Amino acid sequence: MVTTELKGKNILVTGGTGIGVGAGICRAVHEAGGKLIINGRRREALDAAVTRYPGSVGALGDIRDPMQVEEIFRTVEGRCGTVDGLVNNAGVGLSKPAHEVEESEFDDLFSVDVKAAWLMTRAFIRRLLAAKRGGSIVNVSSVHAQATMPRYSLYAGAKAGIEGLTRGLAYEYGEYNIRCNAIAPGYVHAEQNYDLIRTWTEDPQAWVHQHTENHQALPFEITPEDCGELAVFLLSERSRCITGQTVRIDAGMTTMLYNRDFLQ
């Protein structure tokens, strides 16, 4: 659905080169009339993403590196001007029992899912304060921050950290008209998810079907576009009085005390 909610706004989306939630956010920002700025670590994937959204801008860089973060913002400012909205979408997963996780795996998870989001946010806020402008931050969390499952202890911890950061930033910078919210998707289906799901079941297709039918209040799959529409709302002036919130986009999964099979 094409709108003009973000017309005239520069929106930077980290990790926007994939086909999951980030792609849905990029598509929604583009269709809402925003100037889409896509961050990615690999040139080939970034170039491909930019071609999907005419008029968009690529911002190559590893957001775990503070020097590259600064270069990303300098490049963007040179081409587009001040960034109005930041979506901290980049993230990695980890499905492994906590006692088997290596320190390097822990560091990789938290460096992308938490530290990189903070580095990007820090650079963004510094520029807004210097320009005396307001802005909006949308962090991508997960339902795992509220309710999780075996093998996801560390991932749940990382996403819980993102939600705490979201609340703190909202309070700390609200007086400057800088808002910060988070979206927390449930299971968003994509074909590449099957490899991850195989870490706990031999039949990933059946698991996805059962999850949709029995473990959600709404019996249909959540799409990347659903996540994108929510992000656009939180980036736009329609949500001007909303800050410090985490909105769960999980088809009602975290509201359920028992799954549907239990009630039969």
Q: What is the pLDDT of residue 43?
A: 96
Q: What is the pTM of this model?
A: 0.95
Instruction: Establish whether 155 is a catalytic residue.
Output: yes
Exposure b/e, 73-110, CB count within 10 A at least 16 = b: bebbeeebeebbbbbbbbbebbebeeeeeeeeeeeebb
Domain-wise residue ranges, the chain: 10-191+224-257
Tokens of 94: 């980890």
- Model pLDDT for residues 14-36, shown as the tens digit of each residue: 999 988 999 999 999 999 999 99
Rounded distance between C-alpha atoms, residue 88 and residue 140, angstroms: 6
Class of domain 10-191+224-257: alpha beta
Exposure b/e, 112-126, CB count within 10 A at least 16 = b: bbbbbbebbbebbbe
- Model pLDDT for residues 142-175, shown as the tens digit of each residue: 999 999 999 999 999 999 999 999 999 999 999 9
pLDDT over 60 at 94, yes or no = yes
What's the CA dihedral at 184, 188, 193, 194 to 10 degrees? 130
pLDDT over 60 at 1, yes or no = no
Say if CB 58 and CB 46 are below 8 A apart.
Answer: yes
- Catalytic pick from 53, 152, 155, 187? 155
Tokens of 241: 């009085």
